[in-house]
Amino acid sequence: MSISVRGIRKKFGQFQALDDIDLEIPDGQLVALLGPSGSGKTTLLRIIAGLEFADCGTVQFDGKDISAQSARDRQVGFVFQHYALFRHMTVFENIAFGLRVRPRALRPSEPEIRDKVNELLALIQLKNQARRYPSQLSGGQRQRVALARALAVEPAVLLLDEPFGSLDAKVRQELRHWLRQLHDEVHITSVFVTHDQEEALEVADLVAVMNEGHIEQVGSPEEVYNRPATPFVFNFLGNVNIFHGRVDDGKAYIQETDTGNLAFVRPHLLEITRQPNGANHFRATTTHINSAGPVVKVDAITEWGAPVHVEISQERFQALRLAKNELVFLTPRDIAVFGKERAS
Amino acid sequence: MASIAQTQFRAAAGPHSSAAGVAASEPAVVRWVLIGVAVAFLAIFLFLPLAVVFRTAFQKGIEFYFQAFRDPDTQAAIRLTLLAAGIAVPLNVVFGVAAAWLIGKFEFFGKSLLITLIDLPFSVSPVVAGLIFVLLFGLQGLLGPWLIAHGIRIVFALPGIVLATIFVTFPFVARELLPMIQSQGNEEEEAALTLGASGWQTFFRVTLPNVKWALIYGVILCNARAMGEFGAVSVVSGHIRGLTDTMPLHIEILYNDYQFVAAFAVASLLALLALATLVVKSIAEWKAAQQFAAQSAADPERSL
C-alpha cells in the first residue's frame, strides 16, 4: 500500500514539530525517516499511524484520505522503541492479541490463531520461548516479539519507531539485516524512524532526511549520501570538512577568505600528496594520525590555520610513509558549494 | 617468595575488610535502642489496644461475648454497616478506576485541580463532611423542602449514610491506582489500539491486569475505612437504634450505656476486620511479588 503525506503541520504548544511535510512512499518500499532528535521524525510516524493527529494536512493510503480514521481502523502495524509488549501476557498471547480482539465475525478460530502464532514464532526464531513472559527475554528477543505481534494482524503498512534504538551495537547489526531480509520476503510497505545514518543507509530503499520539522531530501541511500541536496544533509550523513568556497565557470574552489559561500568536502575525497600536483591544491601540516581501522584518519592544519580531516586507505598510508608534523599537499576531488545563509 | 607475597596480601586485606564491616552498620547499642523504640511504639499504639479490646470482649466468658451479637439492634447495626460498605465500595471502585485512568493517561485542563479534589476527603474533617450533607439534604437544608415534598429521605436514613461513606472513602482506590497507572505510561495501550482493540478491550485486557494488585489493595483499604467510618456517618445518621446505627456508632452507644462487654465484642469484629485486611494485603503483595518473580526468573538460554 502506498502512503502519501500532504502538507502536514503539527505544533506542540509553541514548538513547531512538523512544518508543511510532503512525502510519497511507494508501495512495498522500506523507507527510513532519518534525522536528529527533535527533527519531527517520530511525530510524523505517529501521525501516519493515527496515534497523533496533525493540525492540518492529510495522510492517504493508496490515494484514500484516512486522516480522520483512528489508529484502530488504519490497519497499521506499529513497533515501539521500547517494545511495549503486554507484560502480563506470554510471548504467545502477545502475538495472538491482535487476532483475539477482533469482532466475533472476523475472529479466526482457536486452531487458526494457534497456527498463525506458531508460524510467526518460527519466523522470529522464538518457538521455544512461546510460554515465557516479556521480562524473561533479552532486548533483541523482545523487539522480535513486538514485530511478530504487529505482523500477526497482517497490516497494510508496518511502522517502526527507532526499532533498534535501545539495543546494543551487535544485536542491532543482526536485527538490521534480519529486518531487511524479512522485508524482502513479505514486501510490506514499511517506514522506520532512526537517528542512525548508518542504519538508514544500510537498510532502506529510500531515505527521507528530516531536520527541524522539514524534510531536507528524499532519495535512495546512494543519492542522499553522494549527492546531498542541502548542507544539513551533507553534514548529517557522514563526516565533512567545511571551508570557504566559490564557484568559477561551473567549477568549485576552496578559498582562504570568506566569500559568503561554504565548500563541503568529504574526508575521503581529499587526496594527500607530498609534492604539489597542479591545480587547486593547498598546503597543510599533519597534526595527528590514527591508523587503527580499515581507513587511516589524518588530522591536519591548513596553511590558513583551519583544521581539516582526511581519510586515506592503509595502502596509500604505507606508500606515503606519513608522520606527524609534516607538510603535505591536499587536493579535493569533489567539492560542493552552498550559499552561507542556507548552510547555517 | 610466593608465600611472602601471600602474607602481605592478607595483611593488606585484613583491616580493609573489617573497616568495610564497621562502615556498613551502626554499633550494636544504637541498633538495639532503635529496635526497642520501634517495638515499644508498636506495643503501646497497636498491640496493647488490640489486646484490651479482645480481653474486655471476653471478660465474662465466651457465652457473654456471643450473647452480645444476639441483640437485634446489634444485628441491625452489622447489617447496616455491611449494606453501606456494600454500596459505597463498588461505587468508589468505579469512580476511583475512572479517575485514575483519566488522570494517569490523559492531559487536560484542570487536571491538578481534579487531583486536589480527589484528595479533599483526606483533608476535610469527617464531621464537616457529614455536616455538608445535612446542610444540603437536611430538613432546613438547601434541597430539604423539595426532597420532603417528594417523599425522599436522605439524611437520617440509609442514603445519607451511604453518601457520607462514599465521600470519606473515595480517595483510596484512585490514590492507590494513580502511581501505578502513571508509571506504566501509554505505550501498551497504544500498541493495543494499533492492533485493533477497542477502548473497552484495551482497558480490560491491558490496563486492568497491569494494575490488578494495586486495585485490590485500594479496595481493601476503601472497605476497611467504609466499615470503620464514625465522624461523617455520626452526623448524618441521627442515631436511630436498630435503624440508622452502623457498627462504630453502635459501639459508642453501648459504651455510653456501660455495656462494656457488648461494646468491645462489636469492636472486636471491627478489629478482626482490620486484621483480615492486613492478611489480604499481605497476600496481595505476596502474589504480586510472586507474579513478578515468575516473570523475571532467570532464563538459562537467554540468547538473541
Q: Does residue B117 carry a pLDDT above 70?
A: yes
| pLDDT score for A30 | 93
A161 touches A78 (CB < 8 A): yes
- Using a pLDDT cut of 90, give the percent of chain B over it: 15
B interface test, pick of A51, A116, A125 with most B CB neighbours within 10 Å: A51
Contacts of B296 in chain A (CB under 8 A): 133, 135-136
Summarize the confidence of residues B108-115 as an average pLDDT. 88
Q: Does residue A46 carry a pLDDT above 90?
A: yes
Beta pairing class for A157-161 and A76-79: parallel
Q: Tell me, yes or no, if B151 comes closer than 8 A to chain A by beta carbon.
A: no
Nearest alpha carbon to residue A49 among A31, A28, A67: A67
- Confidence band for B23, pLDDT divided at 50, 70 and 90: low
Residue A292, helix vs strand vs coil: coil
Task: Classify the phi-psi angles of A75: left when phi > 0, otherwise alpha if psi is within -120 to 50, otherwise beta.
Answer: left
Residue A202, helix vs strand vs coil: helix
Q: Does residue A164 carry a pLDDT above 50?
A: yes
| pLDDT score for B217 | 84
Contact assignment for B194 to A97 by CB distance below 8 Å: no
Summarize the confidence of residues B52-58 as an average pLDDT. 86
Contact assignment for A101 to B198 by CB distance below 8 Å: yes
Contacts of B302 in chain A (CB under 8 A): 136-138
Q: Does residue B18 carry a pLDDT above 70?
A: no
| pLDDT score for B271 | 87
Q: Does residue B301 carry a pLDDT above 80?
A: no
Sheet holding A327-332, edge to edge: A270-273, A327-332, A282-290, A295-302, A307-313
Pick B297's closest partner by Cβ from A136, A141, A171: A136
Pick A98's closest partner by Cβ from B196, B291, B304: B196
Q: Which of residues 37-96 of B touch A (CB under 8 A)?
A: none
| pLDDT score for B244 | 83
DSSP, res A104: G
Q: Cell 497456527 identifies what position?
A: A115
Q: What is the distance, to the nearest Å, from the Cα of residue A46 to the centroid of all Cα atoms in its chain?
A: 16
Q: Cell 467504609 identifies what position?
A: B226
CA distances from B38 to A61, B34, B48, B51, B271 (A): 67, 6, 14, 18, 22
Summarize the confidence of residues A316-337 as an average pLDDT. 88
- Confidence band for B12, pLDDT divided at 50, 70 and 90: very low
Summarize the confidence of residues B24-45 as an average pLDDT. 89
Its pTM stands at 0.75
C-alpha cell at B115: 487531583
Helix axis angle for B260-295 and B72-105, nearest 10°, is 30
Beta pairing class for A157-161 and A189-194: parallel
Q: Does residue B298 carry a pLDDT above 60?
A: no
Pick A138's closest partner by Cβ from B190, B296, B302: B302
Rounded Cα gap, residues A229 and A260, in angstroms: 18
B25 vs A206, residue with greater confidence: A206
- Confidence band for B1, pLDDT divided at 50, 70 and 90: very low
Contact assignment for B191 to A102 by CB distance below 8 Å: no
C-alpha cell at A306: 583551519
For residue B197, the chain A residue with the least C-alpha distance is A101
Rounded Cα gap, residues B288 and A176, in angstroms: 37
Q: Tell me, yes or no, if B192 comes closer than 8 A to chain A by beta carbon.
A: yes
| Per-residue 3-state assignment (H helix, E strand, C coil) for chain B | CHHHHHHHHHHHHHHHHHHHHHHHCCCHHHHHHHHHHHHHHHHHHHHHHHHHHHHHHCCCCHHHHHHHHHCHHHHHHHHHHHHHHHHHHHHHHHHHHHHHHHHHHCCCCCHHHHHHHHHHHHHCCHHHHHHHHHHHHCCCCCCHHHHHHCCCCCCCCHHHHHHHHHHHHCHHHHHHHHHHHHHHCCHHHHHHHHCCCCHHHHHHHHHHHHCHHHHHHHHHHHHHHHHHCCHHHHHHHCCCCCCCCCHHHHHHHHHHCCCHHHHHHHHHHHHHHHHHHHHHHHHHHHHHHHHHHHHCCCCCCCCC
Contacts of B204 in chain A (CB under 8 A): none
| pLDDT score for B7 | 41
| pLDDT score for B299 | 37
Mean pLDDT, rounded, of chain A: 89
Contacts of B291 in chain A (CB under 8 A): 88
Contact assignment for B302 to A137 by CB distance below 8 Å: yes
Q: How far is A116 from chain B (nearest CA, A)?
A: 15
| pLDDT score for A77 | 92
| pLDDT score for A65 | 92
| pLDDT score for B293 | 61
Contacts of A51 in chain B (CB under 8 A): 190, 193-194
For residue B211, the chain A residue with the least C-alpha distance is A88
- Using a pLDDT cut of 90, give the percent of chain A over it: 51
Contact assignment for B197 to A71 by CB distance below 8 Å: no
Which of the given ranges, A42-46, A329-333, B210-214, has the highest pLDDT on average? A42-46
Summarize the confidence of residues A219-240 as an average pLDDT. 89
CA distances from A36 to A92, A212, A333 (A): 35, 9, 29
Least confident range of A154-168, A240-254, A289-303? A240-254
Backbone angles phi, psi at B270, to 5 degrees: -65, -40
Rounded Cα gap, residues A106 and B169, in angstroms: 43
Helix axis angle for B247-256 and B260-295, nearest 10°, is 150
Nearest alpha carbon to residue A67 among A151, A135, A9, A131: A9
Nearest alpha carbon to residue B263 among B59, B96, B44: B59
Rounded Cα gap, residues A126 and B33, in angstroms: 56
Rounded Cα gap, residues B28 and B31, in angstroms: 5
Summarize the confidence of residues A310-322 as an average pLDDT. 90
A interface test, pick of B105, B203, B304 with most A CB neighbours within 10 Å: B304
Sheet holding A214-219, edge to edge: A76-79, A157-161, A189-194, A30-34, A206-211, A214-219
Residue A6, helix vs strand vs coil: strand
Backbone angles phi, psi at A22, to 5 degrees: -120, 130
- Confidence band for A261, pLDDT divided at 50, 70 and 90: confident
Nearest alpha carbon to residue A24 among A3, A7, A42, A50: A3
Rounded Cα gap, residues A299 and A286, in angstroms: 6
Contact assignment for A128 to B303 by CB distance below 8 Å: no
Q: How far is A203 from chain B (nearest CA, A)?
A: 20
| pLDDT score for B294 | 56
A299 touches A287 (CB < 8 A): yes
Tens digits of residue pLDDT in B127-153: 888 888 888 887 777 787 888 888 878
Residue A234, helix vs strand vs coil: helix
Cα B185–Cα B186–Cα B189 angle in degrees, nearest 5: 135
Cα B69–Cα B74–Cα B79 angle in degrees, nearest 5: 105
Half-sphere exposure of A29 (CA within 13 A, CB side): 18
For residue B209, the chain A residue with the least C-alpha distance is A88
Q: Tell me, yes or no, if B299 comes closer than 8 A to chain A by beta carbon.
A: yes
| Per-residue 3-state assignment (H helix, E strand, C coil) for A47-93 | HHHCCCCCCEEEEEECCEECCCCCHHHCCEEEECCCCCCCCCCCHHH
B193 touches A97 (CB < 8 A): no
Summarize the confidence of residues A60-65 as an average pLDDT. 92
Mean pLDDT, rounded, of chain B: 81
